[in-house]
A = this chain, B = another copy of it.
Amino acid sequence: MSETKIPYKIYLDESEIPKEWYNVRADMKIKPAPLINPATHKKLEAEELAPIFCEELVKQELDEDTAYFPIPEEILDFYKMYRPAPLVRAYYLEKKLGTPAKIYYKFEGNNTSGSHKLNSAIAQAYYAKKQGLKGVTTETGAGQWGTALSMACSYFDLDCKVYMVKVSYEQKPFRREVMRTYGATVTPSPSETTEVGKKILAEHPGTTGSLGCAISEAVEVAVSNEGYRYVLGSVLNQVLLHQSIIGLETKAALDKYGIEPDIIIGCAGGGSNLGGLIAPFMGEKLRGEKDYRIIAVEPASCPSFTRGKFAYDFCDTGMICPLAKMYTLGCDFIPSPSHAGGLRFHGMSTTLSQLYHDGYMEATAVDQTAVFEAAEMFARVEGILPAPESSHAIRVAIDEALKCKETGEEKTIVFGLTGTGYFDMVAYEKFHDGLMSDQVPTDEELEASFAKLPKVEE
């Protein structure tokens, strides 16, 4: 380790926590297509979104021009509890791989929610409180977002109702208890507590649920209860805005040591981590100042970028949400129950979809057994037990580092380690017992799903 002065962990000072979020849309020449009303197919205006989302968040959602948003003092105070997050040089992984590549990861798991989701949860809870609301509703898949939101709501004394994808609810019994520690109520989705839940259960009896279903239920509860709004942990522009703190800190840490990344890798479900991690780097790329290879990694069992259609679709299975133009597998696509990690969403952030469509980033899909192999190797050499979601990025970072080993190139690879896997031991157990399979959707299944996409004239 003496060949370099770069420490194993680069910690910024508390005073170096970014004071503004960065909105990558401001630098996009081709903006993401607007959300449209599913009934009229017209662009949604702020007043139509206000019954669903908090006012301030609607403004952030629709603002394509403001590059920087000041982070309110109350949110910065909370950030100080767990930020700055370390940028870690993966010396031990490099050594294990015998690669000349230099690998860094931004570790977002050092907080009780166990992931980066807290960055946006605390922002959304803050704006809900500021608006004088009683509480918020949401969905959660792997449970990271629900946990993060529970913590944030507890901090601001807001009620928190979480609809949790049934398969995760069953695989992660202790997630519920963490949310309960923070005072939230958790319902497995689909449930009988909502009209849309009843409808989905009638149509798909025995379904293990999906983020799309859970979103529909949470939205229904928000719009039908006085003083409640719906909040979402991914996909939306506001979420990518808040998560830009990941990328801004990463860039600040790299700049501090004069490090120039060649490849930036992030896992992609709805895009919250990837969009946040790459934001300032993508900004430089869009402005023509720098060039980077940016790689989105998704599960082969839920491959929206690599096998999806770039089209308008519902964000939820119950078809009560706005239509968004994005890479989608169809709003009633549900990944195989054998799929273990999060990253279960059928669609993708409209911003990331546009950037991918316009060639600013690559995407690749990986099989889950290969992902867990990477996860276990990483745990053993780097000492952090990674979340399955994060391990998608680890897999591709390892693959890129091994390519460098073949070519002898000393590339600098940065990836997002979004969270820890303490609540994913059922999946790890399946992997250890050889019970994990790599089930991916067939072309026929996807074609059938695409056939149901709404017809929208653009």
Q: Which residues of A contact B (CB under 8 A)?
A: 1, 7-9, 11, 13-15, 77-78, 80-82, 92, 110-112, 114, 151, 154-155, 173-174, 177-178, 180-183, 376, 379-385, 420, 422-423, 425-426, 428-429, 432
Contact = CB atoms under 8 A, between A and B. Distances in A.
Contact of A174 (B379, B381, B422): B422
A183 B376 CA distance: 10
Contacts of A173: 425
B379 A81 contact: no
Contacts of A384: 111-112
Given A177-B428, A432-B177, A81 B383 contact: yes
A385 B110 contact: no
Contact of A8 (B9, B14, B379): B14
Nearest to A379: B181
A386 to B, nearest CB: 9
9 smallest CB-CB distances across A and B, nearest first, come from A174-B425, A177-B425, A8-B80, A422-B422, A7-B14, A112-B385, A81-B383, A154-B380, A177-B429
A13 B256 CA distance: 15
A367 B286 CA distance: 60
Given A81-B92, A151-B383, A174-B422, A428 B11 contact: no
Contacts of A174: 174, 422-423, 425-426
Given A173-B425, A181-B432, 12 more contacts: A7-B13, A7-B14, A8-B81, A9-B80, A81-B383, A112-B384, A112-B420, A155-B381, A177-B432, A178-B385, A181-B376, A183-B380
Contacts of A183: 380
A177 B432 CA distance: 9
Contacts of A1: 77, 80
Contacts of A182: 379-380
Nearest to A430: B177
A383 B180 CA distance: 14
Contacts of A180: 428-429, 432
Contacts of A111: 383-384
Nearest to A420: B112
A334 to B, nearest CB: 26
Contacts of A376: 181
Contacts of A77: 1
A383 B9 contact: no
A92 B77 CA distance: 10
A380 B155 contact: yes
